[in-house]
Amino acid sequence: MSQCVFYFLVFFAAVFQVYDRNNRDPTIGHFIAILVLGAIFLWLELLQAIRSWHRYKKSSYNMLDLVAYGLPMIASIDQIVVHQMGIYHGNTRILSFSVLVVFLHMVSVLTLESSCFCKK
């Protein structure tokens, strides 16, 4: 459930940033929420990696997890810094790319879960 909230936050932050040109009030709250949830998910990934590093690094899904949680955090930090400088519609490339990575992560999670539940 919390991953879905993270996915929607990243998506809506990108949509608001790109398409809401008339809004002069930056959506700093979205970016802070992305930072908090991303930090929680990265912490959980770190705990998983500490428990069994050899098994953790063998799975490409774990690397996708790191990118899917880390890239939106980097994009959020970039947007917060840009907003603090007074540029309300700055560089959206990182944020847009993070939407793509989060979408791929969501598809991979749904694929893994559906394959686990569909086995007889």
pLDDT in tens, 57-83: 888 888 888 999 999 999 889 888 887
115, pLDDT greater than 90: no
Quick check: 75 and 98 in contact, CB under 8 A? yes
Q: What percent of the chain has pLDDT over 70?
A: 82
The CA–CA distances, whole Å, from 63 to 52, 66, 71, 72, 73 equal 14, 5, 12, 15, 15
Extents of the domains making up the chain: 2-117
Q: How many CB atoms lie within 10 A of CB 76?
A: 25
Q: Give the pLDDT confidence score for residue 73 in this predicted structure.
A: 93
Instruction: Answer yes or no: pTM beyond 0.85.
Output: no
43, pLDDT greater than 90: yes
